[in-house]
Amino acid sequence: MQESFENSVKNMLTIIGEDPNREGLIKTPERVFKAFKYMLTIIGEDPNREGLIKPPERVYKAFKFLTSGYEQDPKEVLGDALFTSSNNEMVLMRNIEFYSLCEHHLLPIIGSVHVAYIPNGKVVGLSKIPRMVNIYARRLQIQEQMTEQIAKALEDVIAPKGVGVVVEARHMCVEMRGVQKINSTTTTSALRGCFIKNADTRREFFSLINSPRETHF
């Protein structure tokens, strides 16, 4: 049963465009099998009873949706909505909520992203930024990597004077298992261009994302 289950997980990883043999995923099939079997048996369930026969199929469909980001190119999404602009001040979109799956245990990561850039003759349609975030989030991820990917995509496509990205998230692999630290959060950042070189720009960015978040129009 274990071999068949692990092969199914490997096939699922291959279908979504991942390499099940890369370092971060080698032990994932075994971890998923153990977690699945342990979850059912520890609560006194029989994985072979009628109501639990179809969960593998349902889980596959759920994971296909949760990893749909492999089917899209975030740089194409950004590139479809570039506009000439004389604006040279910071453009900031904050509190972009997302969910993802950690690549080590396939458990949820839930958080928000703050994205800013200084235009250099071009701006991007605002809706494209959260779309781009969703594409990266709906892949197997580690938070540090996703933060870098978002910053690089903006830098490559928009060619701005600078980019700032901050991701704040809760990791269920930390809260639900292992050290079980409920409500612990992880913050990562990626700064490019003038966000690194100019202390005033960097200070403005962090000040804005940390300012009170209630907005009344």
143 catalytic per annotation: yes
171 is catalytic: yes
Catalytic residue among 143, 148, 149, 194, which?
143
| Annotated catalytic residue, options 72, 104, 155, 204 | 104
Note if 194 is an active site residue: no
Phi, psi of 208 (to 5 degrees): -65, -45
Distance CA 61, CA 67 (A): 10
Q: How far apart are CA 135 and CA 61, in angstroms?
A: 18
Catalytic position from the list 18, 103, 148, 149? 103
CA-CA distances (angstroms) from residue 208 to 27, 48, 109?
Answer: 41, 53, 24
b/e 14-39 (16+ beta carbons within 10 angstroms → b):
eebebebeeeebeebbebbbeebeee
The verdict on whether 144 is a catalytic residue reads no
Which candidate in 72, 168, 173, 175 is catalytic? 173
Q: 214 an active-site residue? A: no
**Marked catalytic residue, from 18, 141, 148, 171:** 171
Active site residue 102: yes
114 is a catalytic site residue: no
Q: Which residues does residue 113 pair with via DSSP β-bridges, in sequence order?
A: 96, 167
**Would you name the residues annotated as active-site residues?**
102-105, 143, 171, 173
